[in-house]
Amino acid sequence: MAYVITSACIKDSLCVDACPTDCIHPKQDEPKFAEATQMYVDPENCIDCGACVAVCTSNSIFPLDEVPAEMTDAVAKNAAFYAN
């Protein structure tokens, strides 16, 4: 997993539009979008380009090794979203 989206995410989907590998979900047109509290980065398909970080207006996306201590639960949440 290269990047992690934290609970500060406001689901504005700017990161989805910026991602060249289509690895941020759920998208607005996907069934899980309404119930999701945030977006998630697919750990298998992320190419570590940082495009999502550059456009994130809520400062909710971090490199895995830079996730703030108070937000480390986001790592497990991101992984769990893609576990199914």
Looking at every residue in the chain, the average pLDDT score rounds to: 94
State residue 84's pLDDT score: 66
**Residue 16, C-beta contacts closer than 8 angstroms, at least 6 positions apart:** 22, 24, 25, 27, 28, 39
Domain positions in the chain = 3-81
**CATH code linked to domain 3-81:** 3.30.70.20
Token look-up 């500060």 returns 8
State residue 6's pLDDT score: 97
Q: Cβ(64)–Cβ(2) under 8 Å?
A: yes
The predicted model scores a pTM of 0.92
Give the tens place of pLDDT for each residue, 14-53: 999 999 999 999 999 999 999 999 999 999 999 999 999 9
Stretch 4-15: mean pLDDT, rounded? 96
Stretch 55-65: mean pLDDT, rounded? 96
Does residue 80 have a pLDDT over 70? yes
Written as six digits, the tokens of 20 are 């060249």
